[in-house]
Amino acid sequence: MKGLLLVCADPDEKQFAGLRLLMARLAAELPGFACRQWRGRALRCRWRRRLDLVLISGHGTRDRAAFRSPPGYLTPESLSLPRGSRLYLLGCHQGRPELRKAWAAGAGLAQDRVRGHDGETESALSTCLLLHLLEDGLSAFEDWFTAWQRCNADLAEYFPLLRAAYADCAADPLRAWERVSGLPALQAHRDFFGSGLRHPEYLTGLA
């Protein structure tokens, strides 16, 4: 296994429905990738020496290194990875330095092998990030992850406005984009949003 895509959220939660579908497609199309739902058990993968990329998506907690899910909390103590792996945390707050340090210690990685965002994140932006992985492959993932971090940071104050536009447009991402695309803050990240506009099916009908 070269890549592990891990969902840490309620399987029935509509917010992550597009991400789940996309992760399953990535697992089917990228050689050596697997998609899993976290079900409360520790993940002991240190012996999987070829494991390069591990990505966790879900609800990150504000004050601790953890993802919240119905079985409980996925924490650094639940994770053991090969030293050469890269760990990406697609959840709120998990990129804060002290939380990255905790994830690195628990997983057995150097801290510079762990990446996340230190503030609130939006699942639609995480979907766009994985669509870039689908389109551009692993070689471009680091750069698109940096773009994801910047996008979340620059647009955090607009998240309520973007969610309201999406709801007002009956969960149609293309109509919602037309409504808000004039915002200069969004125009600055048009390339990042482009993947979602090219694959709106993964952003349609989410809560």
Q: Please report which confidence band the pLDDT of residue 99 belongs to, taking 50, 70 and 90 as the band edges.
A: very high
Residue 165 pLDDT exceeds 80: yes
What's the rounded mean pLDDT across residues 99-120? 97
207: pLDDT strictly greater than 80: no
Calpha distance 150→162 (Å, rounded): 17
Least confident of 11-20, 81-90, 148-157: 11-20
Q: The pTM is what? A: 0.95
Task: Tell me: pLDDT of 113 over 90.
Answer: yes
Query: How are beta strands 3-8 and 53-60 bridged, if at all?
Result: parallel
User: Under a CB-based contact definition with an 8 Å cutoff, are residues 14 and 20 in contact?
Assistant: no
What pLDDT does residue 125 have? 97
- Per cent of the chain over pLDDT 90 is 95
Q: Give the residue among 180, 174, 177 at the shortest CA–CA distance from 204.
A: 174
Which is more confidently placed, 206 or 91?
A: 91
Instruction: Report CA 4 to chain centroid distance, whole Å.
Output: 12
Q: Can you spell out the DSSP letters for 115-143?
A: EE-SS---HHHHHHHHHHHHHH-GGGHHH
- Asked if 121 contacts 155 with a C-beta cutoff of 8 angstroms, the reply is no
In this prediction, residue 189 carries a pLDDT of: 96
H helices within 30-172, ranges in order?
97-107, 123-136, 141-155, 159-168
Q: Which of 39-53, 83-97, 149-163 has the lowest mean pLDDT?
A: 39-53
pLDDT digits (tens, 9 = 90+) for 180-194: 999 999 999 999 999
pLDDT band at 203 (very low <50, low <70, confident <90, very high): very high
- Using a 10 angstrom Cβ sphere, with 0-12 exposed, 13-18 middle and 19 or more buried, the burial of residue 169 is middle
Question: Which residue segment(s) compose the domain that 123 sits in?
Answer: 1-207
pLDDT of residue 142: 95
- The pLDDT value recorded for residue 71 is 87
User: What is the rounded average pLDDT of the residues 41-62?
Assistant: 94
As a whole number of angstroms, the distance between CA 44 and CA 60 comes to: 21
User: Could you give the CA distance from residue 204 to residue 189 in angstroms, rounded to a whole number?
Assistant: 20
> What is the dihedral sign for C-alpha 34, 9, 66, 159?
positive
Structure tokens at 10: 């309620």
Is the pLDDT reported for residue 8 higher than 80? Answer: yes
- How is residue 81 written in tokens? 């990875």
For the chain, how many structural domains are there in total? 1
Asked whether the predicted pLDDT for residue 26 surpasses 90, the reply is yes
> Is residue 84 over pLDDT 90?
yes
Average pLDDT, the chain: 95
Residue found by looking up tokens 């905790």 in the block: 102
The amino acid sitting at 74 is L
